[in-house]
Amino acid sequence: MNGLSNPGMPQQPGRELAAMEGQAEVPGGLLRYRVMDAAGPSAPWAVFENGWGGSFPYWVFLERALALRLRTLCFDRAGTGESRATAPQTVPQLTAQFLALLGQLGIAQPVIVVGHSYGGLVAALHAVQAPEAIRAIVQIDPTPESRDPAIESRLRIVPHLGRLARLCAALGIPDPFFAPAGRDLPPQVRERILRSTVRSAASMRAALDELALLPLIRHTLQRTAGPECRPRLVISAGRVRLGRSWLQRRLVPAKQALDSMRQAQAGHRHEAATHPAWRWEVLPHDHSSLVTTSAGAADVARSVLRFLEQELHLAR
């Protein structure tokens, strides 16, 4: 492990939580990652899958909230954030790179995959493409596995916003839609994320390429659905954060945002009801705040630990 201390990691009072960063070469990419192992060698591993276009520093609050019970690994997928792609991304390669990273770090035991938004779909993808490597899944307000008209209408504008962000990055100016995200993160963390994502034309290009894989990911999940499944917790957002700028409100009106949230909840509830080992709940935070605020991350952490205690008999 090529470890570096991370000055952007908030600390819990009375306990120093060391974070080590490094890079790992995997098929088709060079992945930047961060590990926290304060929980000790007997604790399970939780591996975080970023939301669309995100970079791993945005997990900082949830890492801290889980750090004394779980060993954590977060990373940027090839081409996005601070990672680099050396080949075009494919659906099988998403899981192959995930497994290669685990192998590089000597993680041989099955892991708990925690995915946010688009990363929730990627977590489910790992479970069907490499079930032996997955112990459980936690999906935080995931992109639904099935198409829904209300949600698809929002997804259709994302590539256009991504292209706008690429143009703004090339011009060296903040884009009006993604740049305001993560306002509640520590300033140095937020600046690092903006620099490596929305201000990076290469990262935005890779994120758009990933978004184009969405139909293939859904097809893979539906094609391989079967009786074998891992315990799963699906957490839905229970609030909507309305756009602050005129452009945000124009692109996503309040009624449309509320309808999309309700449709996503219905989809999550339906998907969770299809397997007896799956659980669903709603938390009173919006899509982003579930991860990027200390209050949202604290609520998510409580739900995750309660789920793991019940389903995997995680020691208290």
Rounded Cα gap, residues 172 and 23, in angstroms:
27
Rounded Cα gap, residues 290 and 193, in angstroms:
17
Tokens of 200: 């990076």
Flag whether pLDDT at 167 surpasses 80.
Answer: no
Mean pLDDT of 279-292: 96
Q: In terms of DSSP bridges, do strands 134-140 and 71-75 run parallel, antiparallel, or are they unpaired?
A: unpaired
Rounded Cα gap, residues 31 and 80, in angstroms:
9
Mean pLDDT of 270-279: 91
Q: List pLDDT tens digits, range 62-106.
A: 999 999 999 999 999 999 999 999 999 999 999 999 999 999 999
Residue 13 pLDDT grade (very low, low, confident, very high; cuts 50, 70, 90): very low
Average pLDDT, the chain: 87
Residue matched to tokens 């991504």:
162
Tokens of 210: 């990933």
| Residue 8: predicted pLDDT | 45
Q: Where are the domains of the chain?
A: 20-311
Q: List pLDDT tens digits, range 198-219.
A: 888 899 889 989 989 999 999 9
CA atoms within 13 A on the CB side of 34: 26
pTM: 0.89
CATH superfamily of 20-311: Alpha/Beta hydrolase fold, catalytic domain (3.40.50.1820)
